[in-house]
């Protein structure tokens, strides 16, 4: 979903969500926030969740899963009865995602008298405690800050009625499974559990078995599916010409995310693009949270053409109109490729996933192509002055 739903015009009620069993007050909140009709994953998940069943959802980033779990949570969780004891909990892997989930749900919650608070590290702990003391209905939290507040007695989970694990596979990949399990063991009351993930195997599968009650699975794609309108392009480039190729693609295609493997490479690519006249900024773990958030806001608002990111820093990016994702170096595996590429081709828009490969990286490209059942063609040799970079559709 868009990260700025409140900028849309007022929608009349009932919306398309009403037919899914959404109560009037939440439906009015959806209309006020500019949401008129559900996406596929919402159509599948909301009716199941509204019946109080545990939901296990397989859906990629950008499919609209925030509303798939957020709408039932707003509808089913009661108003808080005690301060510091919310009724709803969403666990997310990154602070960026915590902010973005909250930003989607807060305008809806405002219309139906629900207070939603993002809880994450890097922000004022005292401000979060003050908000909890005033009373919060739902929190959207990263594991470590949530545990910190719980151990300090600033927050209890005894009253939780609905808990959601969002991007559970990313939390597992980041090593947060023990913390997630610790948190779930402290949700002691009768509650509904929802889990959304790109994959449902491995550690995620163990979470499903241990902490969910006969969950009903909903899915709009298979575990290896990419976005339906995504085009994959593998280009063979010369090391000294690579940044100019990136600049040529971004200049013609529009909003572009470039993924780099290291913070140092991120900074170097950003500097080279700026030297080429490209409005680019980097986001990675060595930058302050404020700097990263500012870059994402500028990128969202079309004040920035290129965002150069590491995997960790970019996981919270939830922007619908990214035209191109560029893998500056071929990813080491297909799962990383899918997570990166999922930043484009969203909300019904076409998008491009472009992989740049030097002469000794062609085999890695072939491994990715086979894993994703793409045509195993060698990368197309290209230079930055190639006219085809002016419109990527010429490669179709």
In 3D space, the residue among 351, 290, 362, 363 whose CA is nearest the CA of residue 319 turns out to be 351
pLDDT in tens, the chain (396 residues): 444 443 445 678 899 999 999 999 999 999 988 888 898 889 999 999 999 999 999 876 666 889 999 999 999 999 999 999 999 999 999 888 898 899 999 999 999 999 999 999 988 999 999 999 999 999 999 999 999 999 999 999 999 999 999 999 889 888 899 999 999 999 999 999 999 988 888 899 999 999 999 999 998 654 444 444 789 999 999 999 999 999 999 999 999 999 999 999 999 999 999 999 999 999 988 888 788 888 988 998 899 999 999 987 666 566 778 999 999 999 988 878 888 888 887 766 789 999 999 999 999 999 999 988 888 899 999 999 999 999 999 998
Handedness of CA 37, 38, 39, 40 (dihedral sign): negative
Domain-wise residue ranges, the chain: 5-219, 230-395
Cα angle: 293, vertex 297, 302; to 5 degrees:
150
Structure tokens of 287? 């930058």
Given this model, what pLDDT does residue 6 score? 39
Q: What is the pTM of this model?
A: 0.67
**Architecture of the 230-395 domain:** 3-Layer(aba) Sandwich (3.40)
Given this model, what pLDDT does residue 385 score? 96
Structure tokens of 263? 């913070």
Given this model, what pLDDT does residue 315 score? 62
Reduced to 3 states (helix: H, G, I; strand: E, B; else coil), residue 211 is helix
Q: Do domains 5-219 and 230-395 have the same CATH topology?
A: yes
Question: 66 CB contacts (<8 Å, ≥6 apart)?
Answer: 1, 100, 101, 104, 105, 166, 318
The CATH homologous superfamily to which domain 5-219 belongs is: P-loop containing nucleotide triphosphate hydrolases (3.40.50.300)
Task: Round to whole Å and give the CA distance between 379 and 359.
Answer: 9
Alpha helix positions (H), the chain: 24-32, 40-50, 65-76, 95-111, 125-134, 143-151, 168-173, 177-185, 202-211, 242-253, 263-275, 289-300, 311-314, 334-341, 362-371
Q: How far is CA 339 from the centre of its chain?
A: 9
Given this model, what pLDDT does residue 5 score? 43
Reduced to 3 states (helix: H, G, I; strand: E, B; else coil), residue 126 is helix
Structure tokens of 240? 């000294």
């Amino acid at each position: 979903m868009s990260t700025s739903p409140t900028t849309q015009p007022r929608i009349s009620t009932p919306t398309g969500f009403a037919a899914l069993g959404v109560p009037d007050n939440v439906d009015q909140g959806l209309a006020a926030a500019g949401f008129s009709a559900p996406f596929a994953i919402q159509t599948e998940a909301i009716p199941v969740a509204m019946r109080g069943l545990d939901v296990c959802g397989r859906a990629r980033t950008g499919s609209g899963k925030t509303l798939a779990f957020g709408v039932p949570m707003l509808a089913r969780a009661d108003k808080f009865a005690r301060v510091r004891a919310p009724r709803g909990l969403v666990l997310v892997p990154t602070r960026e995602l915590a902010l973005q989930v909250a930003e989607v749900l807060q305008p809806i919650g405002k219309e139906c008298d629900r207070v939603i608070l993002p809880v994450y590290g890097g922000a004022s702990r005292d401000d979060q405690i003050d908000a909890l003391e005033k009373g919060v209905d739902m929190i959207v939290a990263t594991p470590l800050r949530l545990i910190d507040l719980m151990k300090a007695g600033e927050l209890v989970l005894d009253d939780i009625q609905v808990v959601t694990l969002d991007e559970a596979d990313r939390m597992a990949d980041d090593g947060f499974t023990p913390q997630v399990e610790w948190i779930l063991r402290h949700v002691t009351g009768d509650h509904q559990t929802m889990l959304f993930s790109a994959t449902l195997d491995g550690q995620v599968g163990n979470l499903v078995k241990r902490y969910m009650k006969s969950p009903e699975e909903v899915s709009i794609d298979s575990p290896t599916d990419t976005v339906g309108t995504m085009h994959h392009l593998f280009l063979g480039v010369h090391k000294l010409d690579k940044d100019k190729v990136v600049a040529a693609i971004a200049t013609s295609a529009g909003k572009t995310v470039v993924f780099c493997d290291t913070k140092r490479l991120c900074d170097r690519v950003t500097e080279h693009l700026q030297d080429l006249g490209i409005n680019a900024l980097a986001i990675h773990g060595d930058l302050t949270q404020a700097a990263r958030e500012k870059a994402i806001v500028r990128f969202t608002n079309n004040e920035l053409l290129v965002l150069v990111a590491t995997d960790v820093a970019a996981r919270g990016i939830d922007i619908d109109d990214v035209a191109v994702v560029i893998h500056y170096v071929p990813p080491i595996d297909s799962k990383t490729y899918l997570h990166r590429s999922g930043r484009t081709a969203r909300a019904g828009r076409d998008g491009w996933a472009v992989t740049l490969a030097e002469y000794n990286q062609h085999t890695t490209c072939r491994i990715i192509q086979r894993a994703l059942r793409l045509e195993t063609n060698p990368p197309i040799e290209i230079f930055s002055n190639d006219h085809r970079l002016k419109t990527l559709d010429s490669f179709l």
